[in-house]
């Protein structure tokens, strides 16, 4: 997965898109054959001893999965479950399976898993093999009775009881398969999931592909800034306190413009500093030659905490999703448990 998406993915008429278009058929055929082999039992699917909920998408790039995982874990705990989270740990320099601790280095475990370990207060394990990560998590935490797989829709080796697709139309771009577009699976794949979380307005083509699958809207909300930096002693700051102020906004996420727009909507004068998704920050990246406040995402803050300047702040966000979404998930979990 590229850390920054090609500009030509935004168009279906760009010469590079047209040149690569034939390869999308090959990519689509390989993806379909692979999925068919798993469904037919020709490739082994591993079942964990607890239910698995997959939170994923069909496109390369950030669509808001991490806040959805945080929301889902909170909902599961409120309903008496003891969840654990598994993730690939994209961008980490280490390999193999590892349990994530809140004081780990993002370079070793990945920025998103580290953020989850610090924010959801439940066990987290990383590994390219999600099934192996799930086994390790359950061995270390036998009290866990449900696993949430972060970004594992295409990891068919791990059996899933519930599939939740997070869809951001901006990430879908030209809605073509790789390499001519950002899709890892065709739009029609959305018709086979259990529910869709829509991060923003969906295009008519996407809505048609979803068919009868329930769709629930999501909004990301954040109003309280937290200090970032070594040995910080500053108190949290309401975002409203910076209305009208010039701020530097840093975002190394899939769609940094969403973060910048959120700050601008609060009335801040934003100087945007977009970085590639999963960017490996250094102190020089945060030197902008002014004392204006610097605001970053939580995903970036976990990587910048040891060298961020004393004017740096983190804006945590939470996903607001209608109650009916979790009702659907709970229904699937209960029915699957009774069937078992």
| 3-state helix vs strand vs coil in the chain, percent to 5 | 35, 20, 40
65-78 and 111-119 helices, crossing angle to 10°: 30
Superfamily of segment(s) 41-218+321-339: P-loop containing nucleotide triphosphate hydrolases (3.40.50.300)
Q: What is the reported pTM? A: 0.94
Interatomic CA distance for residues 262 and 270, integer angstroms: 10
pLDDT digits (tens, 9 = 90+) for 151-170: 889 999 999 999 999 999 99
Q: Domain spans of the chain?
A: 41-218+321-339, 223-316
pLDDT of residue 63: 84
pLDDT digits (tens, 9 = 90+) for 292-301: 999 999 999 9
pLDDT of residue 340: 37
Is 337's pLDDT higher than 50? no
Split at pLDDT 50, 70, 90, the class of 4 is low
Longest dimension (CA), the chain: 62
CA–CA distance from 5 to each of 27, 61, 180, 298, 314 (Å)? 18, 8, 11, 21, 25
């Amino acid at each position: 997965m590229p850390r920054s998406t090609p500009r030509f993915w935004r168009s279906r008429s760009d010469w590079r898109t047209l040149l690569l278009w034939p390869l999308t058929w090959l990519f689509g055929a390989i993806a379909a054959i692979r999925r068919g082999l798993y469904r037919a039992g020709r490739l082994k699917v591993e079942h964990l001893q607890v239910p698995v909920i997959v939170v994923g998408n069909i496109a390369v790039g950030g669509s808001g999965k991490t806040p959805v995982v945080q929301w889902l874990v909170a909902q599961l705990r409120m309903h008496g479950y003891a969840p654990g989270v598994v993730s690939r740990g994209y961008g980490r320099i280490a390999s193999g399976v590892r349990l994530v601790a809140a004081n780990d280095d993002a370079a070793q475990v990945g920025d998103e898993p580290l953020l989850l370990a610090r924010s959801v207060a439940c066990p987290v394990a990383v590994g390219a093999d999600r099934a192996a990560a799930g086994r390790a998590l359950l061995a270390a935490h036998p009290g866990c009775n449900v696993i949430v797989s972060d970004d594992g829709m295409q990891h068919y080796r791990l059996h899933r009881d519930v599939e939740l697709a997070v869809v951001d139309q901006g990430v879908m771009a030209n809605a073509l398969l790789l390499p001519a577009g950002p899709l890892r699976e065709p739009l029609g794949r959305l018709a086979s999931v259990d529910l869709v979380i829509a991060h923003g307005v969906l295009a008519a083509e996407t809505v048609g592909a979803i068919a009868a699958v329930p769709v629930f809207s999501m909004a990301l909300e954040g109003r309280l800034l937290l200090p970032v930096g070594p040995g910080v002693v500053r108190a949290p700051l309401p975002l409203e306190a910076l209305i009208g102020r010039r701020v530097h906004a840093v975002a190394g996420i899939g769609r940094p413009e969403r973060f910048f727009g959120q700050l601008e909507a609060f009335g801040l004068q934003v100087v945007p500093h977009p970085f590639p998704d999963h960017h490996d920050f250094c102190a020089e990246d945060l030197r902008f030659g002014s004392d204006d406040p610097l605001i970053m995402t939580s995903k970036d803050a976990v990587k910048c905490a040891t060298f961020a300047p004393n004017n740096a702040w983190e804006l945590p966000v939470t996903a607001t999703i209608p109650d009916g979404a979790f009702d659907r998930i709970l229904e699937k979990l209960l029915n699957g448990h009774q069937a078992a």
